[in-house]
């Protein structure tokens, strides 16, 4: 073989290889290219392998030229590989930038806690009837939580509210501050500050020193209600709460009032709605009674009115207090109050 012919073959091989290399656009075809030229049976490898059969002179010049081509192709391959990679990155990002028809990625959506939802529902059913919303302190004086509500010190009625006391003593060395056990202290606070007419509700958190079970939590919400004016009667209480039950539990609810005892109302009642699960026939939800008790209520006790400086001969009022978690439990069929504050997303996501 003539040295000129081999060198020419090498040169045209180099040219062909470089031209082809320039057209490659992905890593796979780059690999095919590498195998075709530089692989064990590749075109360049074949030529280099034949160098051994040439005369010593030719061997030197063709060998040197062949190795140069080999180095060049390897370098060009590496460079092209980088280019292709960059090309792919750009292709991917330009796709992302311009394809406005792709559906958006859904953002994780938050939701309101079931207690917040039921509180809002309860509040708006009362604001629709002209009640204002007021809030009060969760740390309360004995005076408002008990005394002004006709629950004197050492009176056995205090046992109705197991209390969490704050380490704060009055002049006689007695505990005088506690986590409020109900929202009723706001009755006294509001009446003390304002003159009738009063129509308000008080949503808020309460605390009790309580062993927890399916129906008891040591912290929970209440919604208190208070209406005071001249000539308010038990009929007003019944009408208002009936309308409330209708709004929360549905248009054909029946309600039932029975006598109950709370020191700050006279007469005191509890209110039940007919069980919407069995329509009053008796089932598991209503413990076979056909009724679901939803709150305590009554006419504001004359002693409470007098205690805030109102004349009980002129003014009368009604008050009520309910547990929104209990209302939500009845409404949504939740069987354990501890679920509300257990932070289990599997429970919370259902609302």
Active site residues: 161, 182, 208, 222, 265, 319
Residue with tokens 């400086």: 309
CB of 277 to ligand PHE, least distance (A): 25
Instruction: Using the rule CB under 6 A, give the single segment among 31-39, 126-134, 164-172, 314-322 that binds ligand PHE.
Output: 314-322
State how far the alpha carbon of 60 is from the alpha carbons of 12, 45, 49, 71, 157, in Å: 20, 16, 13, 16, 115
CB of 346 to ligand PHE, least distance (A): 31
- Do the beta carbons of residue 166 and residue 179 sit within 8 Å? yes
Q: Which is nearer to ligand PHE, 163 or 184 (CB)?
A: 184
Give yes or no for residue 119 binding ligand PHE (CB under 6 A).
Answer: no
- Closest C-alpha to 231, from 156, 305, 318: 318
Query: Which position's Cβ is nearest ligand PHE?
Result: 321
Give yes or no for residue 320 binding ligand PHE (CB under 6 A).
Answer: yes
d(CA 320, CA 122) in angstroms, rounded, equals 13
Q: Which is nearer to ligand PHE, 24 or 201 (CB)?
A: 201
Q: Which is nearer to ligand PHE, 42 or 268 (CB)?
A: 268
Q: Which is nearer to ligand PHE, 140 or 224 (CB)?
A: 224
CB of 343 to ligand PHE, least distance (A): 25
Pick the binder of ligand PHE from 179, 188, 297, 339 (CB under 6 A): 297
CB of 160 to ligand PHE, least distance (A): 7
CB of 265 to ligand PHE, least distance (A): 5
d(CA 223, CA 226) in angstroms, rounded, equals 10
Pick the binder of ligand PHE from 33, 144, 221, 262 (CB under 6 A): 262
Give yes or no for residue 184 binding ligand PHE (CB under 6 A).
Answer: yes
d(CA 182, CA 162) in angstroms, rounded, equals 11
Instruction: Using the rule CB under 6 A, give the single segment among 71-79, 138-146, 294-302, 341-349 that binds ligand PHE.
Output: 294-302
Give yes or no for residue 298 binding ligand PHE (CB under 6 A).
Answer: yes
- Do the beta carbons of residue 299 and residue 316 sit within 8 Å? yes
Q: Which of positions 195-234 make contact with ligand PHE (CB under 6 A)? A: 224
Angle value at C-alpha 333, between 331 and 335, nearest 5 degrees:
125
d(CA 23, CA 273) in angstroms, rounded, equals 81
Q: Which is nearer to ligand PHE, 37 or 262 (CB)?
A: 262
Burial class (CB in 10 A: 0-12, 13-18, 19+), 83: middle
Angle in degrees, 0-180, between the axes of helices 234-249 and 114-127, rounded to the nearest 10: 130
Omega prior to 197 cis, within 30 of 0: yes
x/- letters, 29..68, toward ligand PHE (CB under 6 A): ----------------------------------------
* Residues contacting 89, CB < 8 A, separation 6+: none
Give the strand pairing for 139-141 and 175-179: antiparallel
Instruction: Using the rule CB under 6 A, give the single segment among 171-179, 231-239, 277-285, 317-325 that binds ligand PHE.
Output: 317-325
Give the strand pairing for 291-300 and 265-274: antiparallel
Give yes or no for residue 275 binding ligand PHE (CB under 6 A).
Answer: no
d(CA 278, CA 290) in angstroms, rounded, equals 7
Instruction: Using the rule CB under 6 A, give the single segment among 20-28, 86-94, 168-176, 292-300 that binds ligand PHE.
Output: 292-300
d(CA 143, CA 346) in angstroms, rounded, equals 42
Residue ranges in contact with ligand PHE by CB under 6 A: 182, 184, 224, 262, 265, 296-298, 319-321
């Amino acid at each position: 073989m003539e040295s000129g012919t081999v060198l020419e073959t090498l040169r045209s091989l180099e040219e062909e290889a470089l031209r082809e290399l320039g057209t490659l656009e992905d890593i796979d075809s780059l690999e095919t290219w590498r195998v075709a030229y530089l692989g064990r049976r590749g075109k360049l490898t074949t030529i280099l392998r034949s160098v051994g059969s040439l005369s010593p002179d030719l061997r030197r010049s063709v060998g040197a030229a062949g190795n140069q081509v080999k180095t060049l192709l390897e370098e060009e391959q590496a460079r092209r590989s980088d280019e292709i990679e960059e090309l792919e990155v750009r292709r991917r990002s330009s796709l992302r930038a311009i394809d406005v028809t792709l559906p958006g990625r859904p953002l994780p959506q938050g939701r309101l806690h079931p207690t917040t939802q039921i509180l809002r529902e309860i509040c708006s059913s009362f604001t629709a009837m002209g009640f204002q919303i007021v809030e009060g302190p969760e740390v309360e004086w004995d005076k408002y939580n008990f005394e002004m509500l006709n629950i004197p010190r050492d009176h056995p009625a205090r046992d109705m509210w197991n209390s969490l006391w704050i380490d704060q003593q009055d002049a006689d060395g007695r505990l005088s501050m506690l986590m409020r056990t109900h929202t009723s202290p706001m009755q006294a606070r509001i009446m003390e500050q304002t003159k009738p007419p009063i129509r308000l509700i008080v949503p808020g958190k309460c605390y009790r020193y309580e062993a927890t079970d399916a129906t008891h939590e040591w912290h929970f919400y209440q919604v208190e209600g208070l209406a005071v004016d001249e000539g308010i009667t038990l009929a007003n209480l019944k009408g208002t709460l009936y309308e409330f039950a209708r709004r929360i539990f549905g248009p054909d609810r029946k309600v039932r009032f029975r006598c109950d005892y709370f020191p700050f109302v006279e007469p005191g009642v509890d209110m039940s709605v007919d069980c919407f699960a069995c329509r009053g026939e008796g089932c598991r939800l209503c413990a076979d009674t056909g009724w679901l008790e939803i709150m305590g209520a009554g006419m504001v006790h004359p002693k409470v009115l007098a205690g805030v400086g109102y004349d009980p001969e002129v003014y009368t009022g009604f008050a009520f207090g309910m547990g929104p978690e209990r209302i939500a439990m009845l409404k949504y069929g939740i069987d354990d109050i501890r679920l509300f504050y257990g932070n289990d997303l599997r429970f919370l996501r259902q609302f």
